[in-house]
């Protein structure tokens, strides 16, 4: 199992003991951007630090280091923290043989697959502010965005046109 620590370390420190208890003999490795490793992670775990894999060439090197391990399960933290966002989704895409699950900030998890599409949809809508009491306000803002952008473009065009016309008109001398 490969866990991607793309959120608070506390989430994994709560999750890992339960995994070890429920699945004897499981090997858990970690992808992280933090120093050290979660306290609950065994000493023999492999830790891949994204800071060691910079740029496009670094990502390909990480894939070359991670893929041969043949992970069956990929766990990613999907909390409300913008930590390693590109890395976690890139790994979920590239490690397509692994069954992926998302762990949210409440410690709940769900599988990322077609069978759980409705859960994924509701999760995405919640993250986008499109659920609950905030949904109508978000929808109105989305609908008004093109009008606001058009208003700004017309204002800027008017200001530039006014400046261009005023530079064409000869000024009277006093």
Considering only CA atoms, give the Rg of the chain: 25
The tens place of each residue's pLDDT in the chain, 174 residues long, gives 999 988 888 888 888 998 999 888 899 999 998 888 888 899 889 999 999 998 889 889 999 999 999 999 999 988 877 788 888 888 988 998 889 888 877 777 778 777 767 776 777 777 667 777 777 887 888 889 999 999 999 999 999 999 988 887 666 665
CA distance 47 to 41: 10
Q: Does domain 2-127 have CATH number 3.40.50?
A: yes
97, 24 contact by CB (below 8 A): no
DSSP assigned state of 3: E
């Amino acid at each position: 199992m490969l866990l991607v620590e793309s959120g608070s370390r506390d989430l994994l420190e709560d999750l890992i003991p339960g995994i070890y208890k429920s699945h004897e003999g499981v090997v858990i490795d970690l992808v992280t951007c933090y120093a050290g490793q979660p306290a609950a992670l065994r000493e023999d775990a492999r830790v891949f630090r994204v800071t060691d894999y910079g740029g496009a060439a670094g990502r390909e090197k990480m894939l070359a280091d991670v893929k041969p391990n043949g992970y069956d399960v990929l766990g990613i933290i999907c909390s409300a923290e913008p930590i390693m966002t590109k890395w976690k989704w890139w790994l979920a895409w590239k490690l397509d043989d692994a069954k992926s699950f998302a762990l949210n900030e409440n410690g709940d998890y769900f599988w990322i697959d077609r069978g759980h599409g409705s859960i994924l949809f509701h999760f995405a809508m919640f993250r986008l502010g499109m659920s609950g009491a905030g949904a109508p306000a978000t929808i109105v803002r989305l609908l008004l965005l093109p009008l606001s952008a058009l208003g700004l473009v017309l204002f800027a065009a008017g200001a530039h046109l006014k400046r261009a016309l005023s530079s064409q008109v000869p000024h009277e001398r006093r």
